[in-house]
Amino acid sequence: MKVANIVSTNKVSVSNEFNVVKTMDDIIHGLPTLIIGYNYVNKHYPNFSITNPVLDTNLYWAFKKTENRDKFEEGLGWFIHKVYEGLTKGISYIFVDPIQYNNKTLIKIIKKVYSIKKLITYIHGDMVYIYGETFIFGVDLKLLRYVGINEIKIKDKIKKISNVFMDDSNVFIEYKKNVEMLDNQVRYIPYLYSIINGEDNPTSLVHIP
């Protein structure tokens, strides 16, 4: 699954989630698009501003590396960061707190988790992150131990209802660069997995306020 388009006649080193093409004819419509190249933009968008990366709604531009190396890296990095930021805007994070929440609230959360048809779970240290629909539920196994709940049983139950269950340390290494674009918030890994493996259709809208 692709998350954005990058139009460039030169090679651009980005992750596979980006649709890198040479012409606008090959973009995936509906996704954020970055055009690389001052001359191309100047020819096709004569009213653009050299100090503003925005050309139109969901359409942006940056210099080529050969035109201005620093500006190229700055523009590309900004675009990638904004794409990932846009992807996660519609995702709600819910920390399942057995201390602060009463039984009624906890039961409501559990019912919601069970109602989701496809769950993708990732364990990072003592934290369990469960993604489904537009929610990420965070469960702290250490906190469960503190309040006297058998965290092994909870972990086994979560594993049983999960369609994808990841607890390999290599998972973090695989998604490290993606997570860096999200301020190192590892809770988004199961969501990123769903995008990269075609489980979700991203509809991010990148925009500078």
Helix (H) or strand (E) holding 119: none
Q: Name the token pair of 139.
A: 């469960």
The Cβ-side half-sphere exposure at 128, using a 13 Å CA radius, reads: 23
Residue (of 160, 163, 148) closest to 200 by Cα position: 163
The confidence score (pLDDT) of residue 16 equals 84
For tokens 């590309």, name the residue.
76
Q: Write down the domain spans for the chain.
A: 4-87, 92-196
The model carries a pTM of: 0.83
Contacts for 26 with CB less than 8 Å, ≥ 6 apart? 19
Question: pLDDT per residue over 78-109, tens digit each?
Answer: 999 999 888 888 899 999 999 999 999 999 99
Question: pLDDT per residue over 4-30, tens digit each?
Answer: 999 999 999 998 889 999 999 999 998
